[in-house]
Each structure stands twice: as structure tokens, then as C-alpha cells.
Amino acid sequence: MKQIHVVIGDRLGKGQKVATGVEAAGGKATVIPGVAADMKLGDAMKEHNADFGISFCGSGGAGAITAQTKYGYKARYGMRSIEEGETAIADGCIVLGFGFMDKEELGERLVKAFNKKHGNA
């Protein structure tokens, strides 16, 4: 099974709990360090050849919209629940924008949804 690589960018420099969940599901997580990391999401995804990326900020949009605009990644943003993220992955999105939600369960369930969508399960 291919290891899924997820890049995480958080406006406040967090994302470690989501990364723990990604790794618990067998994925590899790269957390972009520092404040305003969400705005670097697209660049970091390209640099690391990531399978998908997660952006966190108050609105759940800024970093995801930037990645979509700069690189053409299919994005969904403004999400507030894990289920919305799972649906976005099922719909083929690879950039996911959430309001602040640094939870292990989010990372774990998104990797599982990605594996299911792409036949890695």
C-alpha cells in the first residue's frame, strides 16, 4: 500500500494533532512551521509532491484558495466538520480548507477516505 503524504498548514502554526492522526492511519505528515503556514500550503504540497493538503484558518479558506489559484489544485474550503472533508476527498479534492480543527480524528479519517477513494485501502 502506498503511503499517503499530507501537508498541513495552520494560520497559527499548529497542526501537530492532525499530523498524529495522519500517521496513525499509516500516512506521512509534513507540518509547515510558523504563523501563516496556511498561506504556504500549495508551495509545500508541490515541493513535497504531496497527495493532499489541509489548510486551517478562521474562515477555512485563505490557504486553500491560494493553493487552488496558484497551482490549480482542486479545493474545497470553509469546512467545519470531518464529514465535509471526507466528502470533499470523495469528490476528488486534494486541498481541504477548514476552520481551526486540530484533531487527531480529522487526520486519521481523511487519510482513510483518501485511501478508499484511490484504491489504497
pTM for the whole structure: 0.95
The CATH class, in words, for 5-117 is alpha beta
Tell me the torsion sign for CA atoms 36, 28, 18, 79. positive
Confidence check: pLDDT of 121 > 80: no
Percent of the chain residues past pLDDT 70, beyond the cut? 98
How would residue 119 be classed by pLDDT, with cut points 50, 70 and 90? Answer: confident
Q: For the chain, give the mean pLDDT.
A: 95
How much is the average pLDDT of 17-42?
Answer: 97
The per-residue pLDDT for 35 is 92
Q: How many CB atoms lie within 10 A of CB 119?
A: 8
- 118: three-class secondary structure by DSSP: coil
